[in-house]
Structure 1
Amino acid sequence: MVCKAAGMPWPYAVRLRSDRLVLEPLSIEHADVMVNVLAPRELYQFTGGEPPSAEELRARYARQVRGQSEDGTAGWLNWITYPRNGGPPIGFVQATLHRAAEGMTADLAWLVTPSTQGHGFATEAAQQAATWLHSIHVQELNALIHPEHKASAHVARRIGMHSTTISRDGEVLWRKRLAAMDKR
Protein backbone atom coordinates (compact mmCIF):
# COMPACT_ATOMS: atom_id res chain seq x y z
CA MET A 1 0.00 0.00 0.00
CA VAL A 2 1.13 3.52 -0.71
CA CYS A 3 0.23 6.99 0.54
CA LYS A 4 -0.57 9.19 -2.47
CA ALA A 5 0.60 12.80 -2.32
CA ALA A 6 2.48 15.36 -4.32
CA GLY A 7 5.48 13.61 -5.81
CA MET A 8 6.15 9.93 -5.35
CA PRO A 9 3.87 7.95 -3.02
CA TRP A 10 4.99 6.59 0.37
CA PRO A 11 4.15 3.09 1.66
CA TYR A 12 1.46 2.66 4.30
CA ALA A 13 2.11 0.62 7.43
CA VAL A 14 0.51 -2.82 7.34
CA ARG A 15 -0.27 -5.21 10.19
CA LEU A 16 2.80 -7.27 11.06
CA ARG A 17 3.12 -10.42 13.16
CA SER A 18 6.08 -12.04 14.84
CA ASP A 19 6.30 -15.03 17.16
CA ARG A 20 5.04 -13.13 20.21
CA LEU A 21 3.83 -9.78 18.89
CA VAL A 22 1.38 -8.02 16.61
CA LEU A 23 2.39 -4.65 15.20
CA GLU A 24 -0.83 -2.82 14.41
CA PRO A 25 -0.77 0.28 12.17
CA LEU A 26 -1.31 3.41 14.21
CA SER A 27 -4.76 5.01 14.43
CA ILE A 28 -5.96 8.03 16.38
CA GLU A 29 -8.00 5.67 18.57
CA HIS A 30 -4.76 4.22 19.99
CA ALA A 31 -4.23 7.43 21.99
CA ASP A 32 -6.49 6.36 24.86
CA VAL A 33 -4.64 3.07 25.47
CA MET A 34 -1.16 4.38 24.68
CA VAL A 35 -1.37 7.10 27.32
CA ASN A 36 -0.82 4.36 29.95
CA VAL A 37 2.05 2.78 27.99
CA LEU A 38 3.80 6.15 27.76
CA ALA A 39 3.07 7.26 31.36
CA PRO A 40 6.20 5.95 33.16
CA ARG A 41 8.61 8.85 33.62
CA GLU A 42 11.69 6.63 33.24
CA LEU A 43 10.88 6.36 29.51
CA TYR A 44 12.06 9.96 29.11
CA GLN A 45 15.42 9.60 30.87
CA PHE A 46 17.40 9.72 27.60
CA THR A 47 14.98 11.47 25.26
CA GLY A 48 13.72 14.22 27.52
CA GLY A 49 10.14 15.39 27.67
CA GLU A 50 7.38 14.03 29.80
CA PRO A 51 4.43 11.68 29.49
CA PRO A 52 1.83 12.97 27.01
CA SER A 53 -1.85 13.39 27.83
CA ALA A 54 -4.50 11.56 25.81
CA GLU A 55 -5.33 14.87 24.09
CA GLU A 56 -1.67 15.40 23.13
CA LEU A 57 -1.46 11.84 21.80
CA ARG A 58 -4.64 12.27 19.75
CA ALA A 59 -3.18 15.41 18.14
CA ARG A 60 0.19 13.69 17.53
CA TYR A 61 -1.44 10.58 16.10
CA ALA A 62 -3.70 12.67 13.86
CA ARG A 63 -0.55 14.11 12.27
CA GLN A 64 1.25 10.76 12.11
CA VAL A 65 -1.57 8.79 10.50
CA ARG A 66 -1.36 11.10 7.47
CA GLY A 67 1.63 8.94 6.56
CA GLN A 68 3.92 11.75 5.49
CA SER A 69 5.37 15.09 6.43
CA GLU A 70 3.49 18.25 5.50
CA ASP A 71 5.77 18.86 2.50
CA GLY A 72 5.75 15.19 1.43
CA THR A 73 9.53 14.77 1.74
CA ALA A 74 9.32 12.09 4.46
CA GLY A 75 7.07 9.07 4.84
CA TRP A 76 5.83 8.02 8.27
CA LEU A 77 5.15 4.45 9.34
CA ASN A 78 3.92 3.84 12.88
CA TRP A 79 2.91 0.64 14.63
CA ILE A 80 1.50 -0.06 18.07
CA THR A 81 3.00 -3.22 19.59
CA TYR A 82 0.65 -5.74 21.20
CA PRO A 83 1.30 -9.18 22.70
CA ARG A 84 0.18 -11.75 20.13
CA ASN A 85 -1.78 -13.65 22.79
CA GLY A 86 -3.87 -10.55 23.62
CA GLY A 87 -3.81 -7.80 26.17
CA PRO A 88 -3.05 -4.09 26.17
CA PRO A 89 -0.33 -2.55 23.99
CA ILE A 90 3.24 -2.65 25.27
CA GLY A 91 4.95 -0.12 22.99
CA PHE A 92 5.48 1.14 19.48
CA VAL A 93 7.80 1.10 16.49
CA GLN A 94 8.25 4.05 14.13
CA ALA A 95 10.01 4.40 10.79
CA THR A 96 10.54 7.71 9.04
CA LEU A 97 11.28 7.12 5.37
CA HIS A 98 13.53 9.29 3.23
CA ARG A 99 14.49 9.09 -0.43
CA ALA A 100 18.19 9.12 -1.25
CA ALA A 101 20.19 8.58 -4.43
CA GLU A 102 20.74 4.93 -3.47
CA GLY A 103 17.06 4.30 -2.58
CA MET A 104 14.86 4.66 0.49
CA THR A 105 16.30 4.91 3.98
CA ALA A 106 14.41 4.61 7.26
CA ASP A 107 15.01 6.20 10.64
CA LEU A 108 13.84 3.53 13.06
CA ALA A 109 12.70 4.01 16.67
CA TRP A 110 11.23 1.58 19.19
CA LEU A 111 9.88 1.66 22.71
CA VAL A 112 8.40 -0.82 25.16
CA THR A 113 6.93 0.17 28.48
CA PRO A 114 9.14 -0.55 31.52
CA SER A 115 6.96 -3.37 32.86
CA THR A 116 7.66 -5.41 29.70
CA GLN A 117 11.33 -4.53 29.20
CA GLY A 118 14.02 -7.18 29.41
CA HIS A 119 12.06 -9.87 27.55
CA GLY A 120 13.23 -9.17 23.99
CA PHE A 121 10.01 -7.49 22.87
CA ALA A 122 11.72 -4.34 21.58
CA THR A 123 14.19 -6.45 19.59
CA GLU A 124 11.41 -8.63 18.18
CA ALA A 125 9.28 -5.62 17.20
CA ALA A 126 12.21 -3.71 15.67
CA GLN A 127 13.34 -6.82 13.76
CA GLN A 128 9.84 -7.42 12.39
CA ALA A 129 9.64 -3.82 11.20
CA ALA A 130 13.17 -4.01 9.71
CA THR A 131 12.30 -7.21 7.82
CA TRP A 132 9.16 -5.61 6.40
CA LEU A 133 11.03 -2.41 5.51
CA HIS A 134 13.53 -4.52 3.58
CA SER A 135 10.62 -6.16 1.72
CA ILE A 136 9.50 -2.72 0.50
CA HIS A 137 13.02 -1.96 -0.71
CA VAL A 138 14.33 0.23 2.08
CA GLN A 139 18.10 0.13 1.61
CA GLU A 140 19.34 1.44 4.95
CA LEU A 141 18.18 1.64 8.56
CA ASN A 142 19.32 4.41 10.90
CA ALA A 143 18.67 4.99 14.59
CA LEU A 144 19.81 7.75 16.92
CA ILE A 145 20.61 6.38 20.37
CA HIS A 146 21.82 8.21 23.47
CA PRO A 147 25.32 6.89 24.30
CA GLU A 148 24.22 5.86 27.81
CA HIS A 149 21.04 4.08 26.66
CA LYS A 150 22.43 0.55 26.89
CA ALA A 151 19.07 -1.17 26.30
CA SER A 152 18.45 0.62 22.99
CA ALA A 153 22.05 -0.01 21.89
CA HIS A 154 21.47 -3.70 22.67
CA VAL A 155 18.32 -3.75 20.50
CA ALA A 156 20.17 -2.01 17.66
CA ARG A 157 23.04 -4.51 17.89
CA ARG A 158 20.63 -7.48 18.00
CA ILE A 159 18.95 -6.39 14.76
CA GLY A 160 22.32 -5.99 13.05
CA MET A 161 22.91 -2.27 13.36
CA HIS A 162 26.37 -0.85 14.07
CA SER A 163 27.28 2.36 15.85
CA THR A 164 29.02 5.02 13.78
CA THR A 165 31.26 7.92 14.74
CA ILE A 166 28.47 10.32 13.77
CA SER A 167 26.71 12.15 16.59
CA ARG A 168 23.57 14.30 16.32
CA ASP A 169 22.15 16.28 19.22
CA GLY A 170 24.13 14.18 21.69
CA GLU A 171 22.98 10.84 20.23
CA VAL A 172 25.03 8.30 18.29
CA LEU A 173 23.93 7.28 14.81
CA TRP A 174 23.53 3.51 14.38
CA ARG A 175 23.22 2.12 10.86
CA LYS A 176 22.50 -1.05 8.89
CA ARG A 177 22.59 -1.55 5.15
CA LEU A 178 19.63 -3.80 4.25
CA ALA A 179 20.89 -4.99 0.88
CA ALA A 180 22.76 -7.74 2.75
CA MET A 181 20.12 -8.21 5.44
CA ASP A 182 19.96 -11.74 6.74
CA LYS A 183 16.63 -13.57 6.79
CA ARG A 184 16.09 -14.43 10.47
Structure 2
Amino acid sequence: MTEQLVTDRLLLRPWHVDDAGAALEVYGDGQVSRWLSPAMDQVGDLAAMRLLIQHWIAEDARMIPPAARWAVQRKEDGRLIGGAVLLPLPPRGDDLEVGWQLHREVWGHGYATEATQAIARWAFTQEVDEIFAVVRPSNTRAAATVRRTGMEWVGETDKYYDLRLQVFRLRPADILPPSTS
Protein backbone atom coordinates (compact mmCIF):
# COMPACT_ATOMS: atom_id res chain seq x y z
CA MET A 1 0.00 0.00 0.00
CA THR A 2 1.29 3.43 -0.94
CA GLU A 3 2.43 5.51 2.01
CA GLN A 4 0.81 8.95 2.12
CA LEU A 5 3.40 11.75 2.11
CA VAL A 6 2.75 15.37 3.08
CA THR A 7 4.82 18.45 2.24
CA ASP A 8 4.21 22.15 2.82
CA ARG A 9 2.07 22.40 -0.31
CA LEU A 10 1.36 18.86 -1.46
CA LEU A 11 -0.34 15.65 -0.48
CA LEU A 12 1.08 12.56 -2.17
CA ARG A 13 -1.53 9.84 -1.75
CA PRO A 14 -2.71 6.58 -3.29
CA TRP A 15 -4.60 6.78 -6.58
CA HIS A 16 -8.41 6.39 -6.69
CA VAL A 17 -10.45 5.50 -9.78
CA ASP A 18 -12.41 8.74 -9.37
CA ASP A 19 -9.13 10.62 -10.06
CA ALA A 20 -9.47 9.64 -13.74
CA GLY A 21 -10.85 12.97 -15.03
CA ALA A 22 -8.12 15.08 -13.44
CA ALA A 23 -5.46 12.48 -14.30
CA LEU A 24 -6.50 12.53 -17.96
CA GLU A 25 -5.73 16.26 -18.05
CA VAL A 26 -2.14 15.30 -17.24
CA TYR A 27 -1.57 11.94 -18.93
CA GLY A 28 -3.67 12.86 -21.97
CA ASP A 29 -1.67 16.02 -22.65
CA GLY A 30 0.80 15.58 -25.50
CA GLN A 31 3.28 18.02 -23.93
CA VAL A 32 3.38 15.88 -20.77
CA SER A 33 3.21 12.47 -22.42
CA ARG A 34 6.16 13.16 -24.73
CA TRP A 35 8.38 12.77 -21.65
CA LEU A 36 6.67 9.72 -20.15
CA SER A 37 8.52 6.48 -19.69
CA PRO A 38 8.76 4.46 -22.92
CA ALA A 39 6.62 1.87 -21.14
CA MET A 40 3.70 4.33 -21.14
CA ASP A 41 1.92 6.17 -23.94
CA GLN A 42 -0.33 9.19 -23.95
CA VAL A 43 -3.73 8.24 -22.53
CA GLY A 44 -6.46 8.69 -25.13
CA ASP A 45 -9.73 8.97 -23.20
CA LEU A 46 -11.45 8.77 -19.83
CA ALA A 47 -12.17 5.03 -20.06
CA ALA A 48 -8.50 4.31 -20.78
CA MET A 49 -7.46 6.52 -17.86
CA ARG A 50 -9.81 4.66 -15.51
CA LEU A 51 -8.38 1.32 -16.63
CA LEU A 52 -4.84 2.58 -16.17
CA ILE A 53 -5.56 3.83 -12.66
CA GLN A 54 -7.21 0.48 -11.82
CA HIS A 55 -4.02 -1.19 -13.04
CA TRP A 56 -1.88 1.14 -10.90
CA ILE A 57 -4.00 0.39 -7.83
CA ALA A 58 -3.70 -3.38 -8.38
CA GLU A 59 0.03 -3.06 -9.09
CA ASP A 60 0.48 -1.02 -5.91
CA ALA A 61 -1.05 -3.82 -3.85
CA ARG A 62 1.66 -6.19 -5.17
CA MET A 63 4.66 -3.85 -4.96
CA ILE A 64 7.23 -4.18 -2.26
CA PRO A 65 7.84 -0.85 -0.49
CA PRO A 66 9.35 1.56 -1.07
CA ALA A 67 8.17 1.11 -4.67
CA ALA A 68 4.95 3.07 -5.10
CA ARG A 69 2.81 5.37 -7.24
CA TRP A 70 1.26 8.54 -5.86
CA ALA A 71 -1.42 10.95 -6.97
CA VAL A 72 -0.07 14.46 -6.36
CA GLN A 73 -2.68 16.77 -4.88
CA ARG A 74 -2.24 20.45 -4.06
CA LYS A 75 -3.20 21.08 -0.42
CA GLU A 76 -4.45 24.65 -0.83
CA ASP A 77 -7.34 23.73 -3.13
CA GLY A 78 -7.38 19.91 -3.21
CA ARG A 79 -6.66 19.87 -6.96
CA LEU A 80 -5.00 16.75 -8.36
CA ILE A 81 -2.06 18.16 -10.32
CA GLY A 82 -0.28 14.97 -11.40
CA GLY A 83 1.43 11.82 -10.33
CA ALA A 84 4.78 10.66 -8.94
CA VAL A 85 6.51 7.30 -8.78
CA LEU A 86 9.31 5.40 -7.16
CA LEU A 87 9.63 2.26 -9.27
CA PRO A 88 12.24 -0.37 -10.11
CA LEU A 89 14.08 0.45 -13.33
CA PRO A 90 14.18 -2.14 -16.10
CA PRO A 91 15.67 -4.44 -17.09
CA ARG A 92 16.50 -6.11 -13.75
CA GLY A 93 14.77 -3.79 -11.27
CA ASP A 94 17.96 -3.32 -9.23
CA ASP A 95 17.73 0.47 -9.21
CA LEU A 96 14.82 2.66 -8.07
CA GLU A 97 13.68 5.51 -10.29
CA VAL A 98 11.91 8.57 -8.96
CA GLY A 99 9.71 10.37 -11.47
CA TRP A 100 6.78 12.73 -11.79
CA GLN A 101 4.21 13.89 -14.30
CA LEU A 102 2.50 17.20 -13.63
CA HIS A 103 -0.22 19.26 -15.29
CA ARG A 104 1.37 21.80 -17.63
CA GLU A 105 -0.36 24.68 -15.80
CA VAL A 106 1.72 23.97 -12.67
CA TRP A 107 5.12 23.61 -14.33
CA GLY A 108 7.69 26.00 -12.94
CA HIS A 109 6.18 26.25 -9.44
CA GLY A 110 8.57 23.84 -7.69
CA TYR A 111 6.02 21.05 -7.19
CA ALA A 112 8.17 18.40 -8.92
CA THR A 113 11.15 19.27 -6.73
CA GLU A 114 8.97 19.23 -3.60
CA ALA A 115 7.42 15.86 -4.47
CA THR A 116 10.78 14.33 -5.40
CA GLN A 117 12.39 15.44 -2.15
CA ALA A 118 9.47 14.06 -0.11
CA ILE A 119 9.68 10.70 -1.89
CA ALA A 120 13.45 10.58 -1.43
CA ARG A 121 13.29 11.42 2.28
CA TRP A 122 10.70 8.71 2.79
CA ALA A 123 12.60 6.15 0.67
CA PHE A 124 15.74 6.73 2.72
CA THR A 125 13.79 5.72 5.85
CA GLN A 126 13.00 2.42 4.09
CA GLU A 127 16.61 1.17 3.93
CA VAL A 128 17.17 2.53 0.42
CA ASP A 129 20.68 3.89 -0.03
CA GLU A 130 20.22 5.62 -3.39
CA ILE A 131 17.56 6.54 -5.92
CA PHE A 132 17.91 7.52 -9.55
CA ALA A 133 16.23 9.75 -12.09
CA VAL A 134 16.61 9.01 -15.79
CA VAL A 135 16.05 11.89 -18.17
CA ARG A 136 15.92 12.11 -21.94
CA PRO A 137 18.82 14.35 -23.06
CA SER A 138 16.44 16.88 -24.64
CA ASN A 139 14.32 17.21 -21.47
CA THR A 140 16.19 20.16 -20.00
CA ARG A 141 13.35 21.02 -17.58
CA ALA A 142 13.52 17.58 -15.94
CA ALA A 143 17.33 17.71 -15.76
CA ALA A 144 17.13 21.10 -14.02
CA THR A 145 14.50 19.78 -11.62
CA VAL A 146 16.52 16.76 -10.52
CA ARG A 147 19.55 18.97 -9.99
CA ARG A 148 17.43 21.24 -7.75
CA THR A 149 16.55 18.21 -5.60
CA GLY A 150 20.25 17.67 -4.93
CA MET A 151 20.74 14.83 -7.40
CA GLU A 152 24.18 14.44 -8.93
CA TRP A 153 24.97 13.68 -12.56
CA VAL A 154 26.16 10.09 -13.05
CA GLY A 155 26.44 9.95 -16.83
CA GLU A 156 24.54 8.67 -19.83
CA THR A 157 23.50 5.10 -20.49
CA ASP A 158 21.26 2.97 -22.67
CA LYS A 159 20.86 0.42 -19.85
CA TYR A 160 17.28 1.51 -19.07
CA TYR A 161 14.39 1.33 -21.56
CA ASP A 162 16.85 0.76 -24.46
CA LEU A 163 17.17 4.55 -24.83
CA ARG A 164 20.09 6.90 -24.40
CA LEU A 165 19.26 8.58 -21.07
CA GLN A 166 20.96 10.90 -18.62
CA VAL A 167 21.28 9.36 -15.16
CA PHE A 168 21.17 11.29 -11.89
CA ARG A 169 21.59 9.82 -8.40
CA LEU A 170 20.56 10.91 -4.93
CA ARG A 171 21.92 9.46 -1.70
CA PRO A 172 20.84 10.28 1.86
CA ALA A 173 23.80 12.64 2.42
CA ASP A 174 22.85 14.59 -0.74
CA ILE A 175 19.26 15.35 0.22
CA LEU A 176 18.54 18.99 0.76
CA PRO A 177 16.93 20.04 4.03
CA PRO A 178 13.14 20.51 3.96
CA SER A 179 12.05 23.97 2.83
CA THR A 180 10.92 26.34 5.52
CA SER A 181 8.76 28.48 3.28
Provide the identity percentage: 22
Cα distance per residue 1:53-74 (max 9 Å; x no partner): 222222222222234597x789
Q: Does 1:59 align with 2:48?
A: no
* Structure 2 gaps, min length 5: none
Identify, as 1 or 2, the structure richer in helix. 2
For the residues of structure 2 that align with 1:166 and 1:125, how far apart are their CA atoms? 24
Alpha-carbon distance, 1:97 to partner: 4.2
Identify, as 1 or 2, the structure richer in strand. 1
Q: Does 1:13 align with 2:2?
A: yes
Q: Say which SS state the counterpart of residue 13 (structure 1) adopts.
A: coil
**2:171 aligned partner, one-letter code:** R
**1:86 aligned partner, one-letter code:** D
TM-score (norm 1): 0.77
Cα distance per residue 1:109-136 (max 9 Å; x no partner): 1121111111111111111111111122
Equivalent residue in structure 2 for 1:96, among 77, 82, 87: 87
Across the aligned residues of Structure 1 and Structure 2, the Cα RMSD in angstroms comes to: 2.6
**Alignment coverage as a number of residue pairs:** 167
For the residues of structure 1 that align with 2:51 and 2:143, how far apart are their CA atoms? 30
For the residues of structure 1 that align with 2:105 and 2:166, how far apart are their CA atoms? 26
Q: Is the 8 A contact 1:105 1:138 kept in 2?
A: no
| Match in the other structure for 2:32 | 43
For the residues of structure 2 that align with 1:75 and 1:29, how far apart are their CA atoms? 24
TM-score (norm 2): 0.79
| Match in the other structure for 1:7 | none
Equivalent residue in structure 1 for 2:98, among 108, 114, 120: 108
* Structure 1 gaps, min length 5: 1-11, 99-103
For the residues of structure 1 that align with 2:35 and 2:82, how far apart are their CA atoms? 17
Q: How does 1:86-165 map to 2 (within 5 A)?
A: 86-97=77-88, 105-165=95-155
| Match in the other structure for 1:172 | 166
Q: Is the 8 A contact 1:105 1:139 kept in 2?
A: no
Alpha-carbon distance, 1:182 to partner: 4.8
| Match in the other structure for 1:101 | none
Alpha-carbon distance, 1:180 to partner: 5.5
**2:45 aligned partner, one-letter code:** S
For the residues of structure 2 that align with 1:177 and 1:76, how far apart are their CA atoms? 16
